[in-house]
């Protein structure tokens, strides 16, 4: 039931936050044969690109409209038009997704209008879907960009269709890894349901070796799949950030929805499986009953190390709720919670307060904590404070295998508990023989009376124990 407080600082030190256009581009990377484009100057794209490459260790398709000083003033129509034509010619994507940036929003480019004009002038673009989302850098954060991108995809592509009983739409939040998505798909399919995942980075960013080069995303949700979401019987959203998209689906196709604020931990997964069971009319498969009992055992084994520990966490709202919720259930105390942007998820966080701040705030508050939880940019703070760091979310650039971490479902929750507990076990202090010296008084007490003549020197230790 956390209260949200905004930072009063003028200067952000060691940013936790990343920009909206990057979050939106990330969502578009989960569409098949797509080329995300940032409408801004070249650097806007290159910074985001570098982060994505360092996190996923993959080639990332991401383009720029390469705005310069003149087009920044006069407007970017020509750049958008040139970008569309160039990208279509070079990479032949099925979807071109355009995200605005601080630069073009400040100028006030009317991209919707530009796209209408470009379509009229260039009939050859008819074979390419174009999706636009407004994402100024100076508003919101990564998660907001992702949220708006899902909504933009839904609004531009989905039409109502006759309902297919066993088809559901799964909207994963930006905090889920490719393997998290695979895990959820497997769970849903185990009930005989057919999920349409939107967006699906498990196809495009899961680290596989293809036999050829593509200029676009390789794998992900296809346009046909997106369109067929209009026929789904239900929408399952993972994280508050998917609510806007789920509600757009409800408005367009009348699809009922349920948002699962997190899928890390026991009770929330019980609710998820229960929902799937109701939707499908099938009992929970034996596989998951077994995993559930394994998770229970993991919680019992892990709680010795997590109980009573103080945690400083800095993360995007949904990720923070997913981790903070589980940590709280495992007996940890969330003494410092830093996030990037406003979200309804904060209201559910079992902490007193959420600060919309930066990693300097984490470093200051983290001094008295047992564990720091944030992305790789927290490594300097952890080093300076000599505290263990649980690397979570995006970007994690100093570890490999990020795409394959699973922390949802019973199995993923179990993994997460083990990871946290093991970090704490590593830090258990080892005691030495001299750690508990006998007090001078006690020492004196052990002496023979005739040897007690020389008075004890007054030491701070003696004074303290007196």
Partner 1 sequence: MSVSLKAKIAEVFEEPGCDINQGKSEKERKKGCTKQLSPGAAAGGCAFDGAKIALQPVVDVAHLVHGPIACEGNSWDNRHSASSGSTIYRSGFTTDINELDVIYGGEKRLFKSIREIIEKYDPPAVFVYQTCVTALTGDDIEAVCKRAAEKFGKPVIPVNAPGFAGPKNLGNKLGAEAILDYVIGTVEPEFTTPYDINIIGEYNLVGELWQVKPLLDALGIRILSCISGDGRYKQIASAHRAKVNMMVCSKSMINIATKMEQRYGIPYFEGSFYGISDMSETLRQIASLLVKQGADAELIERTERLIEVEEARAYKRIAEYKQRLQGKRVLLITGGVKSWSVVAALQEGGMEIVGTSVKKSTKEDKEKIKEIMGEGADAHMIDDMTPREMYAMLKEARADIMLSGGRSQFVALKARMPWLDINQERHHPYGGYEGMVELVHEIHRAIFNPVWQQVRIPAPWGDDGESLGAVTPTVTTDHLSGIAAKAMGLEPEEIPA
Query: Does position 66 bind partner 1 by CB under 8 A?
Result: yes
Query: Does position 317 bind partner 1 by CB under 8 A?
Result: no
Tell me the CB-side half-sphere exposure of residue 82, using CA atoms within 13 A.
10
Residue 94 vs 310, nearer CB to partner 1: 94
Which of these ranges, 109-117, 135-143, 172-180, 325-333, lies near partner 1 under the rule CB under 8 A?
Answer: 135-143
* One residue of 30, 55, 79, 292 binding partner 1 per CB under 8 A: 79
Report the distance separating Cα 323 and Cα 408, nearest Å: 11
Query: Does position 51 bind partner 1 by CB under 8 A?
Result: yes
> Which residues from 23-42 bind partner 1, rule CB under 8 A?
32-33, 35, 37, 40-42
* One residue of 2, 29, 36, 67 binding partner 1 per CB under 8 A: 67
* One residue of 107, 122, 166, 328 binding partner 1 per CB under 8 A: 107
Which of these ranges, 138-146, 152-160, 365-373, 432-440, lies near partner 1 under the rule CB under 8 A?
Answer: 138-146
Say if CB 303 and CB 331 are below 8 A apart.
yes
Residue 17 vs 175, nearer CB to partner 1: 17
Do β-strands 63-64 and 371-374 pair in parallel, antiparallel, or remain unpaired? unpaired
> Which residues from 174-203 bind partner 1, rule CB under 8 A?
203
DSSP notation for 208-244: ---SS--SS--SSB-HHHHHHGGG-SEEEEESGGGHH
Of 362, 414, 345, the closest CA to residue 173 belongs to 345
> Could you tell me the smallest distance in angstroms from the CB atom of residue 285 to partner 1?
28
Element at 38 (helix H, strand E)? strand 34-39
Query: Does position 255 bind partner 1 by CB under 8 A?
Result: no
Of 380, 378, 376, 393, the closest CA to residue 324 belongs to 393
Report the distance separating Cα 129 and Cα 145, nearest Å: 20
The count of chain residues that interact with partner 1, using the rule CB under 8 A, is 91
Report the distance separating Cα 411 and Cα 264, nearest Å: 9
> Could you tell me the smallest distance in angstroms from the CB atom of residue 328 to partner 1?
28
Residue 76 vs 325, nearer CB to partner 1: 76
CA dihedral in degrees (115, 116, 118, 122; nearest 10)?
130
> Could you tell me the smallest distance in angstroms from the CB atom of residue 194 to partner 1?
19
User: Do you find a cis peptide bond into 306, omega within 30 degrees of 0?
Assistant: no
| Six token digits for residue 385 | 């404070």
> Which residues from 377-406 bind partner 1, rule CB under 8 A?
377, 380, 397
> Could you tell me the smallest distance in angstroms from the CB atom of residue 228 to partner 1?
18
Residue 317 vs 325, nearer CB to partner 1: 317
Say if CB 95 and CB 35 are below 8 A apart.
yes
Query: Does position 427 bind partner 1 by CB under 8 A?
Result: no
């Amino acid at each position: 039931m956390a209260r949200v407080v905004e930072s009063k600082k003028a200067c952000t030190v060691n940013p936790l936050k990343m920009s909206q256009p990057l979050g939106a581009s990330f969502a578009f990377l989960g569409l098949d044969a797509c080329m995300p484009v940032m409408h801004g100057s070249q650097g806007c794209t290159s910074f985001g690109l570098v982060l994505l490459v360092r996190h996923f260790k993959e080639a990332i398709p991401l383009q720029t409209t390469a705005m310069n000083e003149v087009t920044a003033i006069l407007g970017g129509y020509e750049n958008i038009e040139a970008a569309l034509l160039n990208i279509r010619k070079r990479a032949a994507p099925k979807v071109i997704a355009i995200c605005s940036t601080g630069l073009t929003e400040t100028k006030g480019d009317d991209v919707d209008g530009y796209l209408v004009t470009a379509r009229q002038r260039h009939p050859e673009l008819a074979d390419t879907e174009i999706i636009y989302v407004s994402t100024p850098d100076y508003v919101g954060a990564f998660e907001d960009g992702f949220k708006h991108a899902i909504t933009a995809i839904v609004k531009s592509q989905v039409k109502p269709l006759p309902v297919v009983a066993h088809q559901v739409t799964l909207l994963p939040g930006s905090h889920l890894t490719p393997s998290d998505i695979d895990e959820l798909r497997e769970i849903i399919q185990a009930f005989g349901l057919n999920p349409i995942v939107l967006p699906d980075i498990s196809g495009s960013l899961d680290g596989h070796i293809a036999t050829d080069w593509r200029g676009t995303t390789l794998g992900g949700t296809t346009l046909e799949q997106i369109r067929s979401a209009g026929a789904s019987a239900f929408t399952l959203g993972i994280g508050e950030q998917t609510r806007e998209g789920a509600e757009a689906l409800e408005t367009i196709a009348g699809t009922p929805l349920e948002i699962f604020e997190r899928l890390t931990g026991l009770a929330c997964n019980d609710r998820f499986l229960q929902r799937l069971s109701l939707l499908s009319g099938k009992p929970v498969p034996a596989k998951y009953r077994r995993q559930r009992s394994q998770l229970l055992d993991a919680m019992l084994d892990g709680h010795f190390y997590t109980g009573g520990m103080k945690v400083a966490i800095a993360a995007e709202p949904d990720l923070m709720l997913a981790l903070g919720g589980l940590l709280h259930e495992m007996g940890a105390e969330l003494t410092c919670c830093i996030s990037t942007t406003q979200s309804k998820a904060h209201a559910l966080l079992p902490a007193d307060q959420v600060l919309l701040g930066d990693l300097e705030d984490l470093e200051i508050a983290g001094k008295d904590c047992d564990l720091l939880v944030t992305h790789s940019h927290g490594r300097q703070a952890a080093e300076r404070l000599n505290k263990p760091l649980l690397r979570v979310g995006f970007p994690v650039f100093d570890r490999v295998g990020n795409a394959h971490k699973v922390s949802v479902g019973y199995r993923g929750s179990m993994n997460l508990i083990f990871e946290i507990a093991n970090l704490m076990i590593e830090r258990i202090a080892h005691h030495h023989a001299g750690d508990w010296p006998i007090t001078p008084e006690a020492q004196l007490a052990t002496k023979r009376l005739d040897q007690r003549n020389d008075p004890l020197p007054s030491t701070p230790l003696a004074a303290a124990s007196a």
